[in-house]
Amino acid sequence: MSDTPSRADEAAATGQGAPAATVGPVVSSAHLASGAMPALSEVEFAVTMMVNAYHRWMVRCMAAAGAPGMSPLDTLVLHSVNHRDRPKTLADICLVLNIEDTHTVAYALKKLQKGGLVTTGRLGKEKTVAITPAGEAICLEYRRLREALLVGPVKDLGMDQTELSRLAAMLRSVSGHYDQAARAAAAM
């Protein structure tokens, strides 16, 4: 027998070649993941990471498109107003974006109006907002940058668009359960 350590001995000593340690779910709060549905904690952490990355993206893309200083909510509201090129009410925007704090959307609309990106009008007794040519131009430049900087690289990942649509539908469905749970928690 040789005094030279074997490759297996060296691997064991350095941790190389040893069986990989089992990694639990990737979560931000292990105490929440220790319940009956750890996978939901994984989804929550992934959504948190996605939301923060998405918000960072919107702010930086809007700045690159020529509208610096816009918040993620300002950006979402602007795109919502531009959607289908027809006037919207505050209630329409809040409903579509699932925002219950209407004052935050009202503030975003005031900022967008001050910046010349939306204009106000009336439909009967209701106040409406509509996109201006400057607002539409910003939305189109945002779309151009999104296609070049985000859509292309994501498409190159080879992700199935049907699967992405299914994931989006599932997340919208699960969001309804969070809404219901929030109402239940508020009633306690």
Q: Which domains does the chain carry?
A: 38-157 (1.10.10.10)
Statement: residue 57 has pLDDT above 70: yes
The shares of helix, strand and coil residues in the chain, as percent rounded to the nearest 5, are: 65, 5, 25
> 21-30, 89-98, 154-163: lowest mean pLDDT where?
21-30
Could you tell me which residue, 101 or 35, shows the higher pLDDT? 101
Strand positions, DSSP E, 26-69: none
The pTM is what? 0.83
Model confidence band, residue 19 (pLDDT cutoffs 50, 70, 90): low
Statement: residue 87 has pLDDT above 80: yes
Give the pLDDT confidence of 126-160 residue by residue, as tens digits: 999 999 999 999 999 999 999 999 999 999 999 89
d(CA 170, CA 164): 10
Burial label, 65 (beta-carbon count in 10 A; 0-12, 13-18, 19+) = buried
Statement: residue 17 has pLDDT above 60: no
Average pLDDT over residues 76-83: 98
Model confidence band, residue 72 (pLDDT cutoffs 50, 70, 90): very high
d(CA 187, CA 101): 18
Average pLDDT over residues 92-119: 98
Model confidence band, residue 15 (pLDDT cutoffs 50, 70, 90): low
